[in-house]
Chain A
Amino acid sequence: MLNDSDHPRHSAPCHRRQFLTRMGALAGAAAILPGLGGCETAEMHTAPPKKGATLNFDVAVDPFKPLAAVGGFVAADIEGTAVLLVRTAAKEVLAFSRACPHAFLDMAAAPASKYDVAKGVWVCGWHISEFKADGSAVAGPASPSGKLDKFAVTFDGAKGKVTL
């Protein structure tokens, strides 16, 4: 059934010069592809973050209750901007952009994401990158140059405010 003699399985082997010529031709074709219309693009369909937009939160009220304990974290949206709130100390909540600088995935959606209280680092659960309080990556594939966008937070131990 498969011995279709009209369609020989293997083409004739080529020799070194032919091989290099073909490699060159194919590599050349691959190299000019990006030039055909400049087809690489990135566009956002959402509105840009609103500078100065704020979010008030209370750790006793849903959906911010996970922030009642050190190590807890919550995903929030501030006028379309995806933000991550992390309780890092009795009187400290940090706010970061939810997009990890490694692969720009939503860190809150990764089941293994957590605040490592002992090490004092936020862990992106997608590929286990670790971030210090200033947002800079200290371990994992996002290090050494990756940095989380950080937003200003005021917090009194119970209530707080994030400002973009």
Chain B
Amino acid sequence: MKRWVALLSLAATWLVASSAVALPRMTLTAGSRCSNCHVNPQGGGLRNDMGFYAMAQAGMATWEQVGWQKFHDLSDNQAMDGRLTYGFDYRGVVAKLGAPRWGSDGQVVEPPRIPVPMQLTPALAYKINDWLSATASVNPLWWVHSYPGQSPADGWLQIKPAIGLPSLRLGMIQPSFGIRHDDHTLLLRRNPKALGQPLLPPAYADPGAEVNWEPTHWLSLDAAAVWGHNLRLADPQAIAADKPVFSGRLTLWPQVLDWGINSWVGASALVADGSTVLGGHVGVGKNYWGTVIGEAVWSKTRGNREILSTLVQVSHAIKDWLVLEARWERSQSTQPGQSDGEATSYVAGLQWMPLPNFELRPEYRWLDTKDYLLAQYTLQFHLWL
């Protein structure tokens, strides 16, 4: 038992490469799929045993070395002979949230810097038998702070007959589209004329089903149908009434093994109530070194509103516990009879893991829209199991 745990731990250590949390770039510096380390095949959230062992190793120091082992005294994240997997994510940010404005005295008023608790999500997955499992998570902070379309919980039954065959998820799910980023502020998924309004909310879920299929190591396919209630709450202009939403994603995963190069390139589509969202994503990474990621999203919604957004992100792993990341984004919107929207964003920062399962992310953010410019330092923190 101890031996396979050690072997698994070692394998996971090699697989996950340098990062703290579920990030798209991890697949590029490790050459592995999100599903290798996460219960959700889309990645993010609850980690499986591989994900647990990998993250329990990665940090500037171990909890034991700094004398805090009692806070980190776990040998695994499983119970009931491995049938039950448990975990949690706690995330928060200190930032100036929102936009500056004119005050009544004619001076510019900056939004206050506030601590925002984003997520406190306990999660469970239970393996009912070899091909059936149940997963659920809830975010009580949703009742404290949430944005339209965000769901307080998700959960699904997953039928996975065998590796290489399609698996089916049924329940409150998020349809797969493009890259699943962990940053909730991406322009890519927002309307540049109403930045508080997400077009595709980052942590939303609607009732429905999705088929995920990885027929070979270089191809994955996802197709979903959900009842778009939360998606309507996010952007009522895109979806006027609760209606079915259909989405599909295809990703190719070319690798040059001898050079340690991993990549993916793919396309997504989502249609609902006469609105269409199309996306393309591409990423290249070198094992344990760095990544370049690009993504573009175009949407046309009712009222002929069109939005085109583009993202380019680079990262470099200085250490396994310290990663430099920079991102550029631009988003433009047009709609007949209305003024155009435009926003550009630059983000540069560090992903720093002082200890395993604990990440600090100091960032500098520059956001320039048609109405205002806001540049600020922010700090995200993330504690998880």
The reply on B313 being an interface residue by CB < 8 A is no
Query: A residues within 8 A CB of B364?
Result: 33, 39
The reply on B129 being an interface residue by CB < 8 A is no
How many angstroms from the CA of A15 to the CA of B362 in the assembled complex?
Answer: 24
How many angstroms from the CA of A44 to the CA of B373 in the assembled complex?
Answer: 6
Q: CB distance A42 to B145 under 8 Å? A: no
- B343-384 toward A: CB 8 Å interface, digit per residue (1/0)? 000000010101000000010100001111111110000000
The reply on B147 being an interface residue by CB < 8 A is yes
Q: CB distance A14 to B65 under 8 Å? A: yes
How many angstroms from the CA of A58 to the CA of B99 in the assembled complex?
Answer: 31
Query: A residues within 8 A CB of B67?
Result: 16
The total number of A-B Cβ pairs within 8 Å is: 151
Query: B residues within 8 A CB of A99?
Result: 98-99, 101
- Within 8 Å by CB of B354, from A23, A43, A109, lies A23
The reply on A53 being an interface residue by CB < 8 A is no
Nearest CB on A from B204, distance (A): 13
- Within 8 Å by CB of A44, from B30, B97, B100, B289, lies B100
- Within 8 Å by CB of A49, from B104, B354, B373, lies B104
Which of B54-62, B246-254, B301-309 is found at the contact surface with chain A?
A: B54-62
Q: CB distance A4 to B320 under 8 Å? A: no
A112/B102 contact (C-beta < 8 A), A7-B260, A41-B373, A42-B108 known:
no
The reply on A9 being an interface residue by CB < 8 A is yes
How many angstroms from the CA of A1 to the CA of B196 in the assembled complex?
Answer: 43
- A21-58 CB contacts (< 8 Å) to partner B: 22-23, 26, 30, 33-34, 39-46, 48-49
Nearest CB on A from B22, distance (A): 18
How many angstroms from the CA of A111 to the CA of B67 in the assembled complex?
Answer: 49
A103/B111 contact (C-beta < 8 A), A1-B31, A15-B65 known:
yes
Query: B residues within 8 A CB of A42?
Result: 100, 108, 110, 372-375
How many angstroms from the CA of A19 to the CA of B64 in the assembled complex?
Answer: 12
Q: CB distance A22 to B374 under 8 Å? A: no
Q: CB distance B65 to A16 under 8 Å? A: yes
How many angstroms from the CA of A125 to the CA of B144 in the assembled complex?
Answer: 13
Q: CB distance B61 to A13 under 8 Å? A: yes
Q: CB distance B14 to A3 under 8 Å? A: yes
Q: A7-B289, A22-B61 are in contact. List 13 more A-B contacts (CB 8 A).
A: A2-B15, A2-B32, A11-B319, A15-B61, A15-B65, A43-B372, A45-B369, A99-B99, A103-B97, A104-B101, A106-B196, A111-B233, A112-B233
Chain A residues in the interface with B (C-beta under 8 A): 1-4, 7-11, 13-16, 18-20, 22-23, 26, 30, 33-34, 39-46, 48-49, 81, 97, 99-100, 102-106, 109-112, 125-127, 141, 149
The 9 closest A-B pairs by CB, nearest first: A104-B98, A105-B196, A103-B98, A42-B100, A19-B61, A7-B288, A103-B97, A1-B257, A42-B110
